[in-house]
Amino acid sequence: MKRLPGEIERESFSIIRSELEGRGIRLPKESEAVILRCIHTSADFDYAENLRFTPEAVSLGVRAMQRGASVVTDTNMALAGISRPGLAKLGGAAYCFMAEEEVAGAAKAAGTTRAAAAVDFAAERFPEAVFAVGNAPTALLRLAEKIDEGLRPALVVGVPVGFVNVVESKERILQVCRDKGIPAIVALGRKGGSGIAAAVCNALIYTAAGMLDPKDRGWK
C-alpha cells in the first residue's frame, strides 16, 4: 500500500502524541513543535525530558526566523537537513563554514579545532544569527566565550552528541545564555547530533513560515 510523505508524517506525529500521552507526558504548548520534531527525527522519547528552553526561546527563535535570520551550523550534515524552501520563504539562509580555508588556517595558527575557529569566522559575519551546534562541543564552548565577550546571537541551539566535553559544554552554554538573556534550546546529557540540530531549526522555520502541516510544504 502506497503512503504519501504527508500522510506518513501526520501518522507519525499522531503516534508520538499518543505514546507521550500513554507515558503521562504533557508537552508545554510553547515548546511542543520543537520536542515533537526532535522525537520524530530520532524516534527517541528522551527528548521530551532532556530538552531545556530559556524563557520564550521558541517564540523568540520563531520571530528571528520571521525576520530572515541567518542560521549557522557546525556540520554540513545539519546544513543539508535544514529546510531551504522554508528559509527562502522567510528570506533567510543557512551556512556551515567548516570547510573554509580561512577557518582551517585560523584553527592551525591558534592550535584549536576548526569548529571553534568557525565560530569566530561566523561571529564576524553573522553576529545576530541562529547558531545551531549539533556535533562539536568545542564550537559550543567557543560560542560561550564569544557571548561572554559581547556576541549576541538571535538564538543558540546546543545539541552536540558524544562523550568528551559534551555534557559540560551544554551546561556551560545554557548557563551563559541564561546569565546574558540570550534565547537557547539545549539537549542536556550526551544525546543530540546534526539531525537534532536540523530538527530544532526546522520546527522554528516551519512555525515561522506557517508550514507545520506537510500540505503547507507541498506534500499531500
Any idea which residues carry the catalytic annotation? 40
- For 43, list phi and psi in degrees, rounded to 5: 60, 30
Query: Which neighbouring-strand residues pair with 132?
Result: 73, 157
Which residue pairs from 111-117 have beta carbons closer than 8 angstroms and sit at least 24 positions apart in sequence? Answer: 112/138, 112/142, 113/138, 113/139, 115/74, 115/139, 115/142, 116/141, 116/142
From residue 21, give the alpha-carbon distance in Å to each of 16, 25, 37, 51, 141.
Answer: 9, 6, 16, 18, 36
Distance CA 112, CA 102 (A): 13
Q: Retrieve residue 172's grid coordinates.
A: 556551560
